[in-house]
Structure formats: C-alpha cells, structure tokens
Amino acid sequence: MLTIENEPQLSPNDVDLYLFHEGTLHEGYKVFGAHYTQIGDTGGFRFTVWAPNACAVSIVGDFNDWEAGKHKMNPVKQSGVWTTFIQGIGVAERYKYAIETPSGAIVLKADPYAFYAETRPNTASLTCRLDRYEWHDAKWMRQREKIDDYHRPMAIYECHLGSWKKAENDRLMTYRELADELVNYVFENGFTHIELMPIMEHPYDRSWGYQITGYFAPTSRFGSPDDFKYFVDTCHRRGIGVILDWTPAHFCRDSHGLGKFDGTPLYEPCDPKLADRPQWGTYNFDFSKNEVVSFLISNARFWMDVYHVEGFRIDAVSSMIHLNHNNDLPFELKNKYGGYENLEAIDFIKKLNEAVYAKFPSALMIAEEATDYPMVTGPTDKGGLGFNFKWNMGWVHDILQYMRFNPFERRDHHNLITFSMLYAYSENFILSFSHDELVYGKRSLLNKMPGDEWQRFANLRVLYGYFMTHPGKKLLFMGSEFAQFDEWKDLEQLDWNLFDFPMHHAFHNYAVALNHFYQKTSCLWRLDHEQEGFEWIDADNADQSVISFIRKGKRKGDYCLVICNFTPNVYQNFKLGVPANGNYLELFNSDSEAFGGSGQCNRESIESVDEPFHNQAHHLKLTIPPLGMSILMKETKKRKTMTAYDQI
C-alpha cells in the first residue's frame, strides 16, 4: 500500500501516466484508487480513476450526501485520468465515482481499484488502509523464494469458502474463523496448498466469484482486508501456500462495475461481437488496450505484494486464446490474419507471466486450459505462454470416463488409463479433480463409481491411488477427501455428518494417509515433469485391467513400484517384474481394513526371484488386492518400520 508522507503526490506523475498508457504500469494499485494521504496535520484520501471519455467526474458518498459535482475530480494533462484529494475522509467511508457520460447521463460506478467494498447487495466502495496489518510470515516469505515447486510435493485443496462449513444459524464463516478451522484441517489432512475459488468482490453468490466487480477487494462477505491477511498469514504459519482463482478473461455486467465505465466501452472491446460473452452473460476484457493490460497485471501483482499469496489458477484460458472457444454466437470470429487465435490475449498472457515472475520468481501461475494449444507452460522467449503449470484436463476426462464402466467392461477401454503417458511431459501438469467435475448434475466422485457400496468406495480408493502416483501435481475439491456422496451444493455446507458413517470415516483415513505418504515419498514427486521419473512395468494388461509402473526419484535406488487393479478380482501369486534383486515391502495398500478394504495386503517382506519378467531383470510374486492400489519399495532397515498400516 502506498502511503504518502510529508510532500504528497496528489496526482499521478508523468512517469506513471506514460507507463499506464504503455501497458507497463505493473503497480497501478499504488497510483489509482483511494489512498490515505497526510498533509500536515490533516488526513484524507486521494482518489484517482481512468475515465477518458467522461465529460466530468466527481466523488460521491455519505460525506456529501451522494451529491454529484460537490467534490469534483480534476483531469490530469488530457490523459483520461482524473484525480482529487478530499480532506477529513476517514476509513470505511462509502464512495463511488459519479461520471458524466458523453450523452450527458450521470452513472455511479464503484472504484475499479477499490481495496474494500460494501457487503452485497450494497455496491459502494469503501475507503481503506492496507498498511496497518502486522505480518508474522517473514520466515515463510524468505523460504518461498528458494522453493523449487517443480521438484517438491504439491497437493492442493480447492475450496469455496462460502460452502466449506457454515457457522451457527447458517451464517457464513469469517476469514478469521476459517483461518482457525479450515487451515488446521487442511494441514492435518496432508495438503500443501489451499486454492480458493475467487474471493475478489462479486455481487452474486452463485457466480462463485467468477464474475467480479472489485478486482482489488477481498469480498466483504467474510470480513475485512485485514481479516483476509490474517487468513493468509495463518496459512503460512502452518506451512500452507495460498493460490487464488483469478478471472482476467471476463467481468460481469452489473451497472456499478466495469462495463461501459465512462458511458462507453472501456474495459471491454468497442465491437459488441468481441465484447459479449453470451455463455456467461459477461463482457470480455479488451486486451488491445494498454490501460487494460496495466490494470490486470497490476491486479495480479497486487495480490502477491499486498496479500502475500503464492499465485493464481487462471480461469478460462482457453476462452482467452481461442476466439471461438464455447462461442454461442451465430458466426465465427477471426483475427486480422484470418486465424482463430486471440492475438492480443496471447500477447497479454505472455506479458502477465513475465511481469509476475520479474517481481515474484517463485510465483505459481497455473493455467486452466482445455485444448491442445502448444507450450502453455513453455517459456515466453521460446514461444510459450509462460505459465509454470497447467491443469491436465485430458487425464481427468479419460480416467473418469474409464471409472464409470463396469469393472468387467474396462478391459475394452484400457487405453483410457494409459494414454496420458503419451503426453504427460508435454507440459508441467497438475491433475485436478476440481469443482467443475462435481456440479451441474455431474455427481460427486463417489457417486460416479459403479457397483454396490463396497465397490464404490473401493473404486474411489483405487482412483485416488492412481491419481496420487501418476506423474503431475495434485488438486482435490473440498469434500472429496471424505467421499462426499452428493455433488457440490454451493449454498450449503459440506455433508460433515458423513463422518458418522463408518465407510466415509474409513475413506477419510485413507485419503489422509495417502496424502501424508505422498509428501514423505520423494520418488512420487521429485521428477514429476521429467521422463526419467516414470517407467512402465506393464501398461498392456487389459485382460486383467491391471497397470504397474515405477516412479523414480533423483537419487539412485530411490524408486517405488505401483500396481493398480481396476477389477474386483483378487490375484494371488501375481508376477511383477522389478528392476533390482532384494526384498520388497508393501508400504501402502488401499485395501487395508483401516481404509474400509478387505485386507488383501502383503504384510510380509517379499523376496525377489532372479528371473526376468516384464522386461525387468527380476520379479516378485505377490497378492494384488481387489479394486486396489499397492505401493512397494525395496526393504531397508528404516523401511521395516514405516509401513502405512502401523500409522493410521
């Protein structure tokens, strides 16, 4: 937060204006919006806004009975920027911009750079100071700069704050209540990060935050900006990273928001064909305007600078880079060369990632991109978009399609569980069982599984087992860790009463144990994005619907064997090729009784046989559990006492 002392700058300087119009004012939140300013003994707020087509702009609020023209703003050097300073205004004062449009109408607009807003359904911006919170995460912030996210575990808990859990009388929990309860829950469940569905200010609860009016304001539904800082601070003190969903593709049309901000299309394109997003009832951002680029890049840097977040999952990237992605219009859009790419959006994305990494080299910039657009996670200087991770939506689609089949039909669809390895290293992937898979009649993960109750839970356990051992980082939507039966109900809290049912309680034991095992087992994540980290043992056993593979770490001998059985058959004396001679221990088995399974486990050390099999020099004979996943490693003195069965 920019606080001006002694000789305050009451309007943007020439450098600010030049960079803003060039699209490179990457910290515009220090220039635009409402900033507390001290002049001598008198304090007040400086207001600055971009409205190039306005005939006049003034500040209205409770302090002047919402009378337009009473506190007029001054144009700054024909730049389209307006500014003024009002003495005596305190914190939490309601205000808007009264903008006289070219047609002579007066429109009241919330501040695009407002740091705080009224609680819906009210729509005014609130004056705010962001320089008063005392952070306690200095150690985390120092360590964060040294983190190599590509070579460390990443298990993300995706969360919608409004429906994770409710307080008494169905009240929304506050940021501080969530900090005390949610953060501890995430830590104890073995997750490394929380990903929050958008918490930027938005008018409609059921947009889930994806249609924003206040890009710089954490929603007041859950408390104040300082309360949200406390939430992030608490995450960091528990060793949990914070990722925000962010929507630079489009914004909502509510009259107090960005749409036709000065009476003309400003943040959106002038051409209605390019501005309208009929599928969502929103406006697209106009990435050809440098001022919009400055606004959005500033917004990304703002959340990392002021709120210390680790990064973003950028929503709807496909709709940004492809002009006709999910296009409901009765015609095709083309760029100036006759192609179908949004050239300005692609250029913006590259500039965004470069600007973020320039200030925050360890930032997480994660793309939700659903097409085969190349080099999404490639560096910009080599033609890539510059993200460092991408959701692997192809894997999610294929594996869920496979799991819906009756287990004895799966042999005919075996390629659905093996195809992903043909492209697993084309991008830096995150495997994501997100909210998108659990709404609009798609059913919960448990309810997608076939069979009776036992088989459904067993299917879900083997699915999670493959999920956690397949190359790529991990994301799981809230409630899935205890096998929520109903699909996500965004107006209600999760079905916490399911913990009273033995199978759900046992499944939660499984998910927690698997998360902790994953974090402790370096070969499951050390080479996630390098081909040397994976080797098939047998990818072709369609008849038995069994796959087996090796996950490898950086050090010699750091590897584990993974076997997944997608049928309810138990296979005794199953031959499995192994790369080295010795004794092997089963360290994890999804069929353990403690997880709700049938107990078909290999509890004793298994000695290898010195005969080649599966193109390996040796083999084992072991029991393969029904609808189960097993992880084995070579026996060492340490590993004799580290099996998951003794740690539940």
Residues labelled as active-site residues: 315, 368
Give the pairing of strands 125-126 and 250-252: unpaired
Cα-Cα-Cα-Cα dihedral sign, residues 496, 501, 503, 506: positive
- Rounded-to-integer distance, Cα 580 and Cα 549, Å: 14
- Rounded-to-integer distance, Cα 49 and Cα 73, Å: 9
In sequence order, what are the residues at sequence separation of 6 or more whose Cβ sits closer than 8 angstroms to the Cβ of residue 507?
457, 460, 461, 482, 483, 595, 596
The beta-strand segments (E) located in 458-531 are 473-477
Is residue 297 within a helix (H) or strand (E), and if so which, with residue range? helix 290-306
At 432 the three-state DSSP class reads strand
Which tokens go with 631? Answer: 């992880």
CB 628 within 8 A of CB 634: no
Q: Residue 596: left if φ>0, alpha if ψ -120 to 50, beta else—which one?
A: left
- Rounded-to-integer distance, Cα 546 and Cα 565, Å: 5
Which tokens go with 40? Answer: 């001598």
* CA angle 164–221–284, rounded 5-degree value: 95
Neighbours of 144 (CB within 10 A): 18
- Rounded-to-integer distance, Cα 461 and Cα 456, Å: 9
At 403 the three-state DSSP class reads helix
- Rounded-to-integer distance, Cα 542 and Cα 402, Å: 12
CA dist 202 → 217, 254, 257, 264, 444 (Å): 9, 10, 10, 22, 26
Cα-Cα-Cα-Cα dihedral sign, residues 607, 608, 609, 614: positive
